[in-house]
Structure 1
């Protein structure tokens, strides 16, 4: 989520094959919340970046949420007429955070370690319209461990739908730490912050799928499969100024930009995304991004593995799979 993200890689599924076949659970809602979803509940510095719009409890383990994807977001711009891939991951992130705070007793100020973030989208239902896309999210909580009435860890399985059709499926595993535990974990790094300064030149935006050079998170090196992470200053869509490390969503977006750059000029529009996070990505240390093609588990698809390193040690490994372009 907004803190450390340890995300496991899974074999991608066909974009036409949902993770959870069958219909949703039919049950009468036990409670409904008319409260507004605030920035604090989803850990976003800007209200315009709030994607989840409402929630209600179905029973002790099932929840129903609504969300909205913008058609003209200043950063998560559509790619080839489809919603940006990272919107799915950000929606899962926000939905989990909201439920933790609003329904599962986690106080604001606690920190989250995301164990898994795995999702498969269905490209045929991701077309961008002339206005925002209204979504519903079915959430099932399992492996829940509570401590003194507060969630300590749990798993969230999510199915995202647009007009009744499945747009994406995924799951995440979450561990929650108190401020005291987090202070001990981070030590002297607790006060680290992103310090904007002179940026290296960006990879051309057209290669990364970005709208403009200011959105590019990669800077070229002497190798065509290696880049340096660059974080544009004043970029609240991807950087929360309060974070003491580089947010996981920045690394995920850098990974998809690297995969697109590696496969250029071929069209690479990934539908499946899985990542393993090894450690915190620290401010003030160069982060090298490397990408390579790997064997794909499904026919007519291309898979790219992206690795981020700091001081020669792996920070994350992402695996992205896209359908091959049709002749």
Structure 2
């Protein structure tokens, strides 16, 4: 599965088979149950599935429910708030689920997500004693169909908890059939991550990680530059079937780099936007650099993170947090 995401410029935030009978696109339906099929959200483990049900309102509007875990082994809370990657992963899963369940895309097709941008409301992100239950309103625009299947579209989403807006965001989705994906990837389609020795980790407390195995950064000779590292057997962010490094892993590496750069300040981003220029390959070192850049809003700090392989940009992220230095 492709998790590659393309986002334009630095984001400046605001304060297979169908498992069910095919229906008319105009039909209003609701699907509720204890678990969404993990193949619909491209997650190998049921415990990593965040979306729990979906409902169609019309051709372009849908509602979903989701839950964010309070005790996940990887998406651990930071300063009492939900992990910053959870909204991005929820946007990804919601889009994939609707593509497979409602928009005719067979399981086995590949996705290129674009303009993955989201802004959260930190005051509503507090972690409780149990999972946080959410509703997600989705509006799809610029939708293109080919032979009755979605080929591309813009997915705008609003997350609510008990009626209050928790986050807003959007992504672009482009779908590639297995044949097209084989042409795009060529011989690299057979690449898989090899398990073996990895470089040392940045201290996990600097990155906001719960333990060393969750740290995605290895130090270099510069305090603003790191090498990407992934612990062997780490299943929370890596699907073993991927022929490239997943986009969500790179997003997490970006937020870890921003936290590490700004330490010992308390940098808790509320807005995140990423541009991916190309696939991140398994067997090529990925260098992560970070720098502060001017922020569009007063009393905020923005960090830009860039990942490169062989000197070519793979992704660019911008993360914005309330300024704790004032």
Alignment TM-score, normalising by the size of structure 2: 0.94
Unaligned stretches of 5+ residues in structure 2: 16-25
2:63 partner SS: strand
Alpha-carbon distance in structure 2 between the residues aligned to 1:11 and 1:89? 14
- Post-superposition Cα deviations, 1:7-60, rounded to whole Å, max 9, x if no partner, equal 334543344xxxxxxxxxxxx982112464111000001100000000010111
Q: Which residue of 1 aligns with 2:198?
A: 199
1:100 aligns with 2:85: no
Alpha-carbon distance in structure 1 between the residues aligned to 2:143 and 2:10? 22
Alpha-carbon distance in structure 1 between the residues aligned to 2:4 and 2:80? 32
- Post-superposition Cα deviations, 1:249-285, rounded to whole Å, max 9, x if no partner, equal 0100000000000000001000000111010000100
**What's the CA shift for 1:298?**
0.3
Alpha-carbon distance in structure 2 between the residues aligned to 1:229 and 1:110? 28
Q: Which residue of 1 aligns with 2:6?
A: 6
- Post-superposition Cα deviations, 1:219-270, rounded to whole Å, max 9, x if no partner, equal 0000000000001111111000000000000100000000000000001000
Alpha-carbon distance in structure 1 between the residues aligned to 2:261 and 2:170? 28
Q: Which residue of 2 aligns with 1:47?
A: 46
Q: Which residue of 1 aligns with 2:178?
A: 179
RMSD: 1.4
Unaligned stretches of 5+ residues in structure 1: 16-27
1:76 aligns with 2:75: yes
Alpha-carbon distance in structure 1 between the residues aligned to 2:206 and 2:27? 47
1:253 partner SS: helix
Q: Which residue of 1 aligns with 2:252?
A: 253
**What's the CA shift for 1:3?**
2.6
1:141 partner SS: strand
Contact 2:13/2:320 (8 A) holds in 1 = no
Alpha-carbon distance in structure 1 between the residues aligned to 2:141 and 2:6? 18
Q: Which residue of 2 aligns with 1:315?
A: 314
Contact 2:11/2:318 (8 A) holds in 1 = no
Report 1:93-242 matches (<5 A): 93-242=92-241
Contact 1:245/1:282 (8 A) holds in 2 = yes
Alpha-carbon distance in structure 2 between the residues aligned to 1:123 and 1:160? 13
Alignment TM-score, normalising by the size of structure 1: 0.94
**What's the CA shift for 1:6?**
1.5
Contact 2:3/2:248 (8 A) holds in 1 = no
**Runs of 4+ deviating beyond 4 Å:** none
2:5 partner SS: coil
Greater Cα shift, 4-13 or 279-288: 4-13
Greater Cα shift, 30-39 or 272-281: 30-39
Contact 1:12/1:120 (8 A) holds in 2 = no
1:243 aligns with 2:242: yes
Q: Which residue of 2 aligns with 1:33?
A: 31
**What's the CA shift for 1:87?**
0.2
Number of aligned positions between the proteins: 315
1:182 partner SS: helix
